Amino acid sequence: MGKRVSAKKVPAALLLTVFLVATAAAFMALKVGADRIVRKKLPGSSIIYIPSGKFLKYATFGYRSLAADVIFLWAIQYYTTPTIDDRFDHLDHIFSIINELDPRYQDPYEVGALIAVQEAGDTRAAFAILDRGAANNPDQWVYPFNAGHVAMMTLKDFSLAEKYFEQCMKIPGAPEFVERLRANALFKKGDLETSWETWLDIYNRAADEEMKKIASNHLYNVKATIDAAALEDAAAKYRERFGHLPASLETLIRTGFLREVPKDLDGKDYVYDPVTGDVKTVVSPWRR
Partner 1 sequence: MADAIRIDKLQKTFRLGFIPKTRPILKGISFSVREGEIFGYLGPNGAGKTTTIKCLLGLIHPDAGTIEIFGRSHLSPRSREPLGFLPENPYFYDYLTAREFLAFTADLFGLARKETGGRIARLLKLVGLERAADLPLRKFSRGMLQRAGLAQALINDPKLVILDEPLGGMDPLGRKEIRDIIVRFKDEGKTVFFTSHILQDIEMICDRVAIIVGGRIVKEGALRDLVSERVLFTEATVSGLFPDAFRGLAESVSVQGDRVLLRIFEESKVGEVLDLVRAHKGRLVSLSPRTETLEDIFVETVTRT
Partner 2 sequence: MKIWAIAGITFKEAKRDRILYLLFFFAALGIVASRALAVLTVGDRVKIIKDVGLASISVFGVLMAILIGTGLVYKEIDKKTIFTLLAKPLHRAEFILGKFLGLVLTLFVMTLAMSLIFLAIVYAHTLKIEGVLLVAVGYIFLELVLITAVAVLFSSFSTPILSSLFALAFYLIGHLSWGLELIIKKMRPGAGKALVRALYTFLPDLENFNFKTEVVHGLPIPPGIYVSAFLYGVCYTAFILGLAVLVFRRRDFI
The window from 6-14, 36-44, 58-66, 101-109 that contacts partner 1 (CB under 8 A) reads: 6-14
CA gap 272, 277 in Å, rounded: 7
Q: H or E stretch including 73?
A: helix 64-79
Q: At what angle do helices 91-101 and 64-79 cross, to 10 degrees?
A: 160
Determine if 14 is a binding residue for partner 1 (CB under 8 A): no
Nearer to partner 1 by C-beta: 10 or 28?
10
CA gap 40, 273 in Å, rounded: 66
Determine if 1 is a binding residue for partner 1 (CB under 8 A): yes
Rounded to the nearest whole angstrom, what is the least distance from the CB of residue 63 to partner 2 in the complex? 15
In Å, how far are 91, 93, 133, 148, 241 from 155, measured between CA atoms?
Answer: 19, 22, 20, 10, 40
Rounded to the nearest whole angstrom, what is the least distance from the CB of residue 11 to partner 1 in the complex? 13
The window from 27-35, 170-178, 187-195, 215-223 that contacts partner 2 (CB under 8 A) reads: 27-35
8-state DSSP, 50:
P
Find out whether 146 and 106 touch, Cβ atoms under 8 Å. Answer: no
Apex 130 CA angle, 125 and 135, nearest 5? 125
Of 10, 11, 14, 46, which lies in the binding site for partner 2, with binding defined by CB under 8 A? 46
Nearer to partner 2 by C-beta: 46 or 118?
46
The window from 28-36, 168-176, 232-240, 258-266 that contacts partner 2 (CB under 8 A) reads: 28-36
Given partner 2, partner 1, none, residue 4, with its beta carbon under 5 to 8 Å by kind, binds partner 1
Amino acid at 195: S
Residue among 150, 130, 143 nearest 170 (CA): 143
Determine if 173 is a binding residue for partner 2 (CB under 8 A): no
Determine if 6 is a binding residue for partner 1 (CB under 8 A): yes
In the complex, the residues that contact partner 2 under the rule CB under 8 A are 13, 16-17, 19-20, 23-24, 26-28, 30-35, 37-42, 45-46, 48-49, 77
